[in-house]
């Protein structure tokens, strides 16, 4: 076991004592869980400091043996200079850096421009950077409804060029990039050295299993005769929030004699909540859910998450595209809930362990997914109600994945990647740009 090792983490980080928080971006809760699992793996032989985002003011404290220093603000060009000064002044002897990255965590997109050069500078100081890429954007045109762009605009070619340069520089400027499934790896490999990109699947751990299904349904005031569909996560176009509302509006009063209840558990995305087009999107969701008796839960506090998962009969993910691995999907597997995803996410099942578990249940990819049209979706819901063994097989898959991807195992994989000894190689900015 390593003695007196140090690890510096850069990322958005939830409030003290919390895993989930309104104040942070989506990757923050997973980032904190990763840090805690690494700390547990290392026992008392690792000193971890997180350089996190400021909420109201600069502060430092200890949270479960991890030192937290809130030193940078989103939407500021001073974020990276402040991070560099902090590292240069106080962490010269800390070699290993774990960077938990989400595209919008530093605010508007232009605040990201200094990031590759920040990484290059750290590398020149002898730092070893493990960069966890929570999202990969391959073509901005795929996100037309998410970022409010015209898919046919010539500007998209310029944006795609900028995205390409950004990812190329990121890959060049770090020692390793970690992504969560093979599809994200393939998308990122289009921009640089594939040998630097490692896949570590999402870890699964339920937050609270003490609540039973009957108690959870009572807490949410659900009727016994209702077949409950849960859609968990931030309200977003790419997650298909509007699609599932439109599909539900066409549902018959009952399917196979059971009423269908749809729950949307999630609030506005922090990254977009001040944008006019997104405000209109959220307003439309609120109006439609009221009209059609859809439960809109808003942001779900950490202590209430179990209620929503345990009360549901099926958890669905009507995503229009895959930009990142899904935290809500990992929680569904943790709670051993049956899951259906849109066919746009079908490639997530190509990751090794998941592929083997599905094979044991003798299910096809078609039985794990639905097409983004009303007919196929209602057909799958009807099949689930008619066929208990089908529902049971989906439950078995979730249980199997939950067992394989415990935080103990996934934390150990992160630890090994971060502290793996790398071969010494001469490094200079000139070398980097000539190579690119």
List CB contacts of 106: < 8 A, sequence separation 6 or more. Answer: 74, 75, 79, 112, 115
pLDDT in the model for residue 253: 77
Distance CA(371)–CA(318), nearest Å, equals 9
pLDDT in the model for residue 434: 42
Residue with tokens 């196979």: 256
**Ordered DSSP codes for 305-357:** HHHHHHH-SEEEE--SS-SB--HHHHHHHHTT--EEEEGGGGGGGGSHHHHHH
pTM of the model: 0.82
List CB contacts of 390: < 8 A, sequence separation 6 or more. Answer: 367, 383, 384
Distance CA(79)–CA(433), nearest Å, equals 24
The three-state secondary structure class of 12 is: coil
Structural contact between residues 88 and 71, judged by C-beta atoms closer than 8 angstroms: no
pLDDT in the model for residue 29: 86
DSSP assigned state of 90:
H
Structural contact between residues 11 and 31, judged by C-beta atoms closer than 8 angstroms: yes
Burial class (CB in 10 A: 0-12, 13-18, 19+), 423: exposed
pLDDT along the chain (436 residues), means of 10: 78 87 77 92 89 92 94 93 96 96 86 94 96 88 74 84 94 96 91 94 70 93 92 92 94 84 91 85 96 94 91 95 80 91 88 83 91 92 90 92 86 93 54 42
pLDDT in the model for residue 27: 81
Going by C-alpha positions, the residue among 131, 110, 134 that lies closest to residue 120 is 131
pLDDT in the model for residue 424: 53
Distance CA(35)–CA(209), nearest Å, equals 22
pLDDT in the model for residue 1: 44
pLDDT in the model for residue 227: 92
Distance CA(340)–CA(317), nearest Å, equals 6
Work out the number of other CB atoms within 10 angstroms of the CB of residue 202.
Answer: 21
User: Cα–Cα distances in Å, from 80 out to 57, 89, 119, 122?
Assistant: 17, 14, 10, 11
pLDDT in the model for residue 431: 41
Show the domains of the chain with their CATH numbers.
5-203+408-435 (3.40.50.2000), 213-405 (3.40.50.2000)
Structural contact between residues 341 and 369, judged by C-beta atoms closer than 8 angstroms: yes
The three-state secondary structure class of 227 is: strand
Q: Give the length of the chain.
A: 436
């Amino acid at each position: 076991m390593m003695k007196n090792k140090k690890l510096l983490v850069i990322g958005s980080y939830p409030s003290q004592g919390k895993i989930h928080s309104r104040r942070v971006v989506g990757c923050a809760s997973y980032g904190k869980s990763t840090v805690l699992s690494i700390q547990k793996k290392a026992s008392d032989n690792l000193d971890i400091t997180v350089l996190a985002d400021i909420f109201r003011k600069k502060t430092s404290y200890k949270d479960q043996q991890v030192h937290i220093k809130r030193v940078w603000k989103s939407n500021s060009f001073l974020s990276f200079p402040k991070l560099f000064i902090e590292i240069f002044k106080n962490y010269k002897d800390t070699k290993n850096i774990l960077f938990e990255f989400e595209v919008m965590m530093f605010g508007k997109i232009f605040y990201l421009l200094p990031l590759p050069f920040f990484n290059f500078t750290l590398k020149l100081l002898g730092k070893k950077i493990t960069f966890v890429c929570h999202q990969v954007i391959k073509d901005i045109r795929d996100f037309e409804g998410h970022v409010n762009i015209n898919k046919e605009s010539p500007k998209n070619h310029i944006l795609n060029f900028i995205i390409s340069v950004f990812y190329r520089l990121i890959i060049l400027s770090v020692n390793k990039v970690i992504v969560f499934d093979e599809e994200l790896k393939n998308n990122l490999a289009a921009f640089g050295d594939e040998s630097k990109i490692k896949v570590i699947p999402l870890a699964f751990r339920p937050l609270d299993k003490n609540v039973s299904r009957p108690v959870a349904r009572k807490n949410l005031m659900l009727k016994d005769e209702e077949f409950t569909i849960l859609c968990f996560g931030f309200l977003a176009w790419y997650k298909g929030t509007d699609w599932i509302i439109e599909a539900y509006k066409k549902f018959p009063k009952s399917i196979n004699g059971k009423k269908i209840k749809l729950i949307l558990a999630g609030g506005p995305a922090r990254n977009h909540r001040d944008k006019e087009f997104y405000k209109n999107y959220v307003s439309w969701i609120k109006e439609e859910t009221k009209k059609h008796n859809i439960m809109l839960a808003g942001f779900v506090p950490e202590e209430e998450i179990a209620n929503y998962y345990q009360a549901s009969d099926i958890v669905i993910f009507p995503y229009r595209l895959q930009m990142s691995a899904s935290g809500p999907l990992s929680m569904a597997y943790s709670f051993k809930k049956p899951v259906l995803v849109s066919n746009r996410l079908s490639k997530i099942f190509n990751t090794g362990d998941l592929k083997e578990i599905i094979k044991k249940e003798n299910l096809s990819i078609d039985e794990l997914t639905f097409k983004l049209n009303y007919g196929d979706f209602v057909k799958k819901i009807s099949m689930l109600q008619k066929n208990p063994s089908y529902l049971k097989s989906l439950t078995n898959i979730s249980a199997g994945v939950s067992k394989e991807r415990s935080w103990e195992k996934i934390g150990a994989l992160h630890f090994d990647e971060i502290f793996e000894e790398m071969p010494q190689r001469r490094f200079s900015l000139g070398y980097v740009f000539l190579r690119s």
